[in-house]
Amino acid sequence: MSKGNILVIDDDKDILVTTEVLLENEGYQCFCIKHPDASKPILNKKNINVVLLDMNYVKGYNDGKEGILWIDKLQTEYPEISIIPITAYSDVELAVNAVKKGAFDFILKPWDNNKFICTISSAIQLNKIKSEKKKLEEIQNQLKKTHFNKTNEFIGESNSVKNIKKNIEKLANTEANVLIIGESGTGKEIIAKLIHANSDRKNEIFYRVDIPSIQNSLFESELFGFEKGAFTDAKESKPGKLEIANKGTLFLDEISFLNINQQAKLLSVLQNRKITRLGSTTEIDLDIRIISSTNKSLKELIDIGKFREDLYFRINTFEIFIPSLNERIDDITILSEYYLNRFSKQYNKPKLKLNAKIINKFKKHSWPGNVRELMNVMERAVILSDGFTLDIGQVFISSELSNQNKQTSLNLSEMEKKWILMAIEKHNGNMTKAAKELGLMRSSFYRRLEKYGIK
């Protein structure tokens, strides 16, 4: 495997041959041309890391002005590539001026081979750093656009919702780490996004990490990243989720799924504010705000030794509790109207209205899936509707779930399992549609299948 790709530009054929032999013997791939005019196709296709550039190409001129112009041009079009001018010993002043213009270093003819290779190696490293920084910025910018293009509202007028909104206003502009507690489907991610959107980091990235979807064996590589060659399949270097979130807000969704070993590694990062990629010895400074969520009692997990108390206090500077939907019945009407308007616009059915029978039915339902379940119910109802008013027969709520108050068991795990089975049955075993129905990512959905032994 090549150590890097080098483009050599020199009108002296002997220089090209000598350089190519030396570099390829050292494990580099070398491309040689006689004039910069021919460089663009190679630069665009060959992933060039370093350009070795002669400073003069017109016979009779040795002032290096051509080389300076080409350094400016290459710097503008390919800012990640390291440029090293080649010049005669008598032109040291020209070489220094080239460095001032942005060249990485200079090489004097005739050169010492060992020093030559050391210079190339250092230039490769700089190119690697610049290229990875560019890739990281591209990832962050794309994620920022995704976040900013989405409208996030926490809908409701109940006292509990008003208190949550007041707390968001108070803590958003602080650097306090926040723990959001609530059942699945209550809107924990929306709260996290609202905190970020009202903080001093609002123009930086908001990055969600779905903890349950991360395989134990991939935890470190996913969170901390890795260098090329760190393990068998590490064919390219990759930033971890913590590095991607740098300068912004990291949302650790369902943090209770971390095992004790993973918790220790995360705690170390949060304490030291530094990360090291797998296969690297270089520490990366970390500047992020942590928002975590859980649908379980972390205090109970601490009592039975499944969650570290020191990590709990680290992530829980401020705590927000989101009540379940059946604990804020007063918000059911406003939520139903909100989703009716949203899906009526989406499916071009603007004349649809809610009737009192539907609202009454909604208020009697226990809503084990919380707001997410209500949203799905409203979307189905709008899709199925043909008239001006939603018919109660078009609003699907399972009779089994509607009568949950009559069931002997209200265990959340059992209810979740039944909900999953119902979704699978409804979609005739189509797991992709079942996961979408439940508002789950495929990885989270399959993790739950494994958890409950559903095949």
The pTM of the whole model exceeds 0.85: no
Q: How far apart are CA 54 and CA 64, in angstroms?
A: 9
**Amino acid letter for position 316:** N
Assign residue 4 a region: left if phi > 0, alpha if psi is -120 to 50, beta otherwise?
left
Cα dihedral 70/75/81/84 (nearest 10): 50
Please give the pLDDT value at position 411.
66
Mean pLDDT of 310-323: 95
Which runs of E-coded beta strand occur in 162-288? 178-181, 206-210, 225-226, 238-239, 249-253, 274-276, 283-285
- The yes-or-no verdict on residue 175 having pLDDT over 70 is yes
CATH 3.90.1150.10 fits 326-452, yes or no: no
Q: Which range has the worst mean pLDDT, 9-18, 139-148, 210-219?
A: 139-148
Tell me, what's the pLDDT at 147? 54
Residues in CB range of 425: below 8 A, 6 or more apart: none
C-alpha span between 175 and 289 (Å, rounded): 6
Alpha-carbon Rg for the chain in angstroms: 30
CATH fourth-level superfamily of 150-321: P-loop containing nucleotide triphosphate hydrolases (3.40.50.300)
Predicted confidence band of residue 164 (pLDDT cuts 50, 70, 90): very high
CATH superfamily of 5-130: Response regulator (3.40.50.2300)
CA distances from 336 to 292, 352, 364 (A): 28, 12, 14
Burial (CB < 10 A; 0-12, 13-18, 19+), residue 87, is: buried
Q: Locate 380 and state its tokens.
A: 């189905």
Q: What percent of the chain has pLDDT over 90?
A: 40
Amino acid at position 102, single letter:
G
- Return the H-helix or E-strand segment holding 6: strand 5-9
Q: Assess whether pLDDT exceeds 70 at residue 219.
A: yes
Q: Are 77 and 46 in contact (CB under 8 A)?
A: no
Mean pLDDT over all residues of the chain? 85
Whether 5-130 and 326-452 share one fold: the answer is: no
Task: Look up residue 54 and give its two tokens.
Answer: 């002669």
CA distance 20 to 449: 57
Q: Which of 206, 237, 205, 210 is nearest to 224 (CA)?
A: 237
The C-alpha atoms of residue 80 and residue 312 are separated, in whole angstroms, by 42
Query: Cβ distance 50 to 6 under 8 Å?
Result: yes
Are 242 and 278 in contact by the 8 Å Cβ rule? The answer is: no
- The predicted pLDDT at position 407 comes to 47
Instruction: Name the DSSP letter for residue 306.
Output: S
What is the average pLDDT across 198-209? 91
Question: 182 near 206, Cβ under 8 Å?
Answer: no
Note the pLDDT of residue 410: 56
Confidence (pLDDT) at 399: 43
pLDDT tens, 88-129? 755 677 777 778 877 888 888 788 889 889 999 998 888 888
Stronger pLDDT, 259 or 357, i.e. the higher one: 259
Work out the average pLDDT over 14-28. 90
Say yes or no to pLDDT of 428 above 80. Answer: no
Strand partners, 275: 284
Residue 245: partners with Cβ closer than 8 Å, 6 or more residues away? 205, 207, 288
Helices 431-438, 370-384: inter-axial angle, 10-degree rounding: 110
With H, G, I as helix, E, B as strand and everything else as coil, classify residue 26: coil
Q: Locate the domains of the chain by residue range.
A: 5-130, 150-321, 326-452
pLDDT at 61: 59
Banded model confidence at residue 281, pLDDT cuts 50, 70, 90: confident
- Give 109-116's long-range contacts (Cβ < 8 A, gap of 24+): 109/15, 113/22, 116/22
Q: Is the pLDDT of residue 148 over 70?
A: no
User: To the nearest 10°, the Cα dihedral for 94, 100, 105, 111?
Assistant: 10
Dist. CA 194–CA 402, nearest whole Å:
32
* Position 151 confidence tier, pLDDT thresholds 50, 70, 90: low
